[in-house]
Structure 1
């Protein structure tokens, strides 16, 4: 994830960005191929599902892009600098607006800044990939714990393996683990068991079954002069040494209601989209028909 302004970029710059990001992923892509790929995405008349706005670098499913207007792009990219994860060796990300934030023509005054981020990890084993994911999420949470225009509220990471109570809140076996900021700092939280005993659940233990991964903040919405919620729902995937892609949360999310903010993430996006099943597409079509 990178945080940039809204200034328009040329086709040549867009091509260079895509080629550079492809190289980082180990994908061979020359300028000619990148130009053809970008042109195919940018031209809606080709009938493709994905549309790229070369001027701003945002892209997404054609239906979602019809609903998106870029006036608030500078604000959202500023928020993205807070909520988005950074690429690092072995970790590639693709950050997108989601929910009402990506549908500003439908929701004229979207209340929240909802983001969605694909986090792709290359590692020798699933255990190592989960450990890297745990490290990346906790580092983001701690680095954005409190700022002049934001404050961390909660991190959802891990799955409860047994029922009990945390503080005054009951938790069910199999439910997501919700970490308050102080617990994230401590790296553990206490579970009161039904027999009266207690157990310390560590962040490292939570990484064995990441489950639903999400970070929540309160931010200053300078555009509208008020406070707002900001969230980043993660879709973590692991690529094993043979090149097989496995969702770490058990499910690869479809892309139909997201507006991606950086053209550099196109190679990662296109690779993960190939892993989607026909059921995901059929489900989206059914949803549109219902609406």
Structure 2
């Protein structure tokens, strides 16, 4: 439901802080562990959650998320499995917005209308489709709108004023600002460069702006939290899963501990507030 996203950002605004948005890969390293991570993220400080659906050719992703997708696919994760994970998560958490993030190929294979209906039925609040430009998104946008699921689009450092108008048209929930040119997990986001772009995107869209790509450390997350409405971290979390696997350690515990450190940094960036849980239900 789009209203879940809107409610969460309104709550964050009242609290005077940015939101923390962890990205994890569905099915990495297996479905059961992925569900345990999902279920633990709100308690670790997640305000919204991005759930990646694995694809064999994730062109916007750097090596960490590429490897996470490969692990998930090797473990048998499918788009149907991703929706089951979402449904299982939603059964125990009515409050935390859940955003699916992935690629158009799998949606087309399922059927756009069927995907939109199934996503809504599984408790998904929004969808980010990395390789679907606005010019090609009419059918997807209509199907998601009918299902009351937000289509969340990406703005980038190269989006000029004319392009921003196209990007934000039909976008709901929030806009995802890609802070660096290139793929995930490689370059570092610079808060000083991000701040004016966030303002431009806010003015163009009238929506909250979440900033992702290039944010791996609590210090970097805090810096971005001072200028953005939400901070998205993905590669740093999937790296924790990979390292835990390599060291034969508890994957869920490692990922959630990292998430908590990032959430604390985001939460305290503007106010000095610690991660005392403020959300009533998620």
Shorter chain as denominator, the TM-score bin is under 0.3
**Higher relative strand content:** 1
**Higher relative helix content:** 2
Which has the higher Rg, Structure 1 or Structure 2?
Answer: 1
TM-score by length of 1: 0.27
TM-score by length of 2: 0.28
